[in-house]
Amino acid sequence: MHDEPNFRLDGIGLFSALPSDALRELETACRWRECDIDDVVLERDSDENDVFFIVSGAVEAVSFTVDGDKISFARIEAGDFFGELSAIDGETRSASVVAIEASLVARMSANRFNQLILVHPELATHLLRRLTRIIRTANSRVVELSTEAGG
């Protein structure tokens, strides 16, 4: 299964600095899943803490209000990843993730992901920049929402 060309992590931005032999090793450490549109990849409040890599297709991080209205947090496309927050802090998932296109997803254990970050400082730097973007975006959204509510 892992010998097929599409079961590769080459297009994942986080891993762009890794040599190909390191990528091949990571590919064997992942569990692979082909998802159809509307397949739930991850449930909100789940205590699983793996990290997911979108090899092809796209998924959406969502939550629902008490009234059942969908709140979309992010579209996550091929080359990107999600689940790093729970892998880092061990907390439950903050959103559900649903396939919005036919997708190939690689899943890596939190332990393996955290070891990888420790061994490859360039990955840690990439991750820190990503987390900084998340915080800045959240801050902007809070200001935007408070301005709308107050105005």
pTM: 0.88
Domain membership flag for residue 101: yes
Write the pLDDT tens digit of every residue in 82-136: 999 999 999 999 999 999 999 999 999 999 999 999 999 999 999 999 999 989 9
Write the pLDDT tens digit of every residue in 64-75: 888 988 889 899
CA angle centred on 10, ends 5 and 11, rounded to 5°:
105
92: domain CATH number is 2.60.120.10
What is the domain range of residue 41? 13-119
Domain membership flag for residue 83: yes
Name the token pair of 72.
Answer: 């979309």
Measured in whole angstroms, the distance separating CA 58 from the mean position of its chain's CA atoms is: 11
How many domains, in total, are found in the chain? 1
Q: Is residue 2's pLDDT more than 70? A: no
